[in-house]
């Protein structure tokens, strides 16, 4: 699938003199915060719209992904404005990725707006919409504590959010915790989400569904190995405890053991993929495919559940 609009963006950006009228910048509105409903991670509203509509770091305008996942986007058109970290660690590659992406957004802001106004981005084809639907979803948090979905780019309100954010040069949230080295950065604390406890219900609902079940990953992509069925916990459990078969048919994970190994929990491929910090540590790539790694307490509870025999219920006292 080659999306025609991406080529138009490339042509527009090539002419640095070409610009659309982005209008006046409202800096207060440009820094309104929303939260990813699956991870609790913050973003400014325009930043979130770009992530939700342009790939969320996993496809289309993403960085470091397979060419097939770009769906026709020209190489180098990375609008991957995900946070650089959700803890105090400074990962230079992630900081560089975010800063480069913001630079590309600022460089292409007039062209991005022209594409949205013209209706060519995001693409309107059913397949394109399926891909976009696999991106992250964000919500506004009201003073009452209730949340409401962030309007999408198909709405006039959503387009105004994006226009203003672009007019303000695309400010981004960098992280949720102050950098360990003390270097100033844009910090917005995340929102708490349901913890992953040592039980199947929690592993399924708080880990597998929000982290793994996008349509381009383990929630509908046959090439991704085991599947997570968001409406069927039993079928998902059967997938997870199936005999070893690797994560993708084309990689070298087939000899890497079962996703769950109750006799030797630390050998479980699922646990090792979640705990890995670089490609050399495990076959394929660490999971999930973004910088927001699962925390140590999640790994500890997942290991405890596996060690208890991966029961359908909770682990006993």
User: pLDDT tens for residues 135-145?
Assistant: 678 999 887 77
Question: What tokens appear for 170 in the block?
Answer: 């695309």
C-beta of residue 150 within 8 angstroms of C-beta of residue 45: yes
Six-digit token string for 247: 């994560």
* pLDDT for the residue numbered 17: 40
Give me the residues paired with residue 148 across strands. Answer: 140
Helices (H) and strands (E) in the chain, counts: 11, 4
Q: What is the pLDDT of residue 44?
A: 97
Closest among 191, 194, 188 to 210, alpha carbons compared:
194
Q: Exposed, middle or buried by CB within 10 Å (0-12, 13-18, 19+), for 287?
A: buried
Give dist(CA 266, CA 254) in Å, integer. 17
What phi and psi values does residue 16 have, to the nearest 5 degrees? -65, -15
Encode pLDDT of 234-292 as tens digits.
989 988 888 765 444 444 565 567 888 899 999 888 888 888 877 666 777 777 765 45
pLDDT for the residue numbered 221: 65
Q: Note the pLDDT tens digit of each residue in 215-238.
A: 667 876 666 678 888 788 898 998
Q: What is the mean pLDDT of residues 19-48?
A: 90
**Residue 133 reports pLDDT greater than 80:** no
How large is the average pLDDT for residues 109-128?
81
- What average pLDDT does the segment 29-42 reach? 91
Instruction: Using a pLDDT cut of 90, give the percent of the chain over it.
Output: 36
What does the pLDDT read at residue 60? 64
pLDDT of residue 2: 42
Which residue do the tokens 């079940």 mark?
A: 213
For residues 243 and 258, is the Cβ–Cβ distance under 8 A? yes
Cβ-contact 68, 81 below 8 angstroms: no
In the predicted model, is pLDDT for residue 18 greater than 50?
no
pLDDT given at position 28 = 97
Mean pLDDT, residues 49-57 taken together: 79
CA atoms within 13 A on the CB side of 288: 22
The single residue listed with the structure tokens 């975010």 is: 98
Cα–Cα distance list, 224 to 55, 62, 129, 214, 246 (Å): 18, 18, 20, 11, 9
């Amino acid at each position: 699938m080659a999306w025609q609009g991406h080529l138009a963006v490339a042509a527009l950006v090539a002419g640095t003199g070409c610009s659309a009228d982005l209008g006046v910048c409202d800096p207060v509105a440009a820094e309104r915060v929303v939260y990813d409903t699956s991870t609790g991670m913050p973003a400014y509203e325009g930043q979130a719209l770009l992530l939700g509509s342009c790939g969320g770091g996993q496809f289309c305008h993403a960085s470091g992904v397979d060419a097939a996942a770009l769906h026709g986007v020209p190489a180098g058109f990375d609008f991957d404005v995900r946070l650089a970290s959700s803890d105090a660690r400074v990962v230079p590659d992630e900081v560089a990725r975010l800063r480069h992406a913001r630079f590309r957004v600022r460089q292409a802001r007039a062209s991005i707006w022209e594409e949205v106004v013209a209706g060519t981005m995001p693409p309107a084809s059913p397949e394109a919409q399926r891909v976009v639907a696999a991106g992250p979803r964000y919500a506004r948090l009201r003073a009452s504590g209730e949340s409401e979905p962030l309007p999408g780019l198909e709405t006039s309100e959503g387009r105004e959010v994006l226009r203003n954010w672009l007019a303000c040069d695309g400010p981004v949230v960098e992280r949720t915790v102050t950098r360990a080295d003390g270097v100033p950065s844009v910090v917005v604390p995340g929102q708490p989400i349901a913890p992953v406890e040592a039980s199947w219900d929690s592993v399924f609902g708080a880990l597998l569904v929000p982290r793994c079940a996008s349509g381009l990953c383990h929630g509908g992509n046959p090439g991704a190995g085991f599947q997570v069925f968001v409406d069927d916990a039993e079928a998902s459990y059967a997938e997870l405890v199936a005999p070893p078969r690797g994560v993708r048919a084309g990689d070298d994970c087939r000899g890497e053991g079962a996703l769950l190994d109750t006799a030797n929990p630390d050998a479980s491929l699922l646990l090792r993929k979640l705990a890995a910090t670089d490609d050399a540590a495990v076959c394929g790539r660490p999971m999930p495919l973004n910088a927001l790694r699962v925390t140590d307490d999640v790994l500890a509870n997942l290991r405890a559940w596996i060690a208890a025999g991966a029961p359908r219920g909770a682990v006993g006292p």
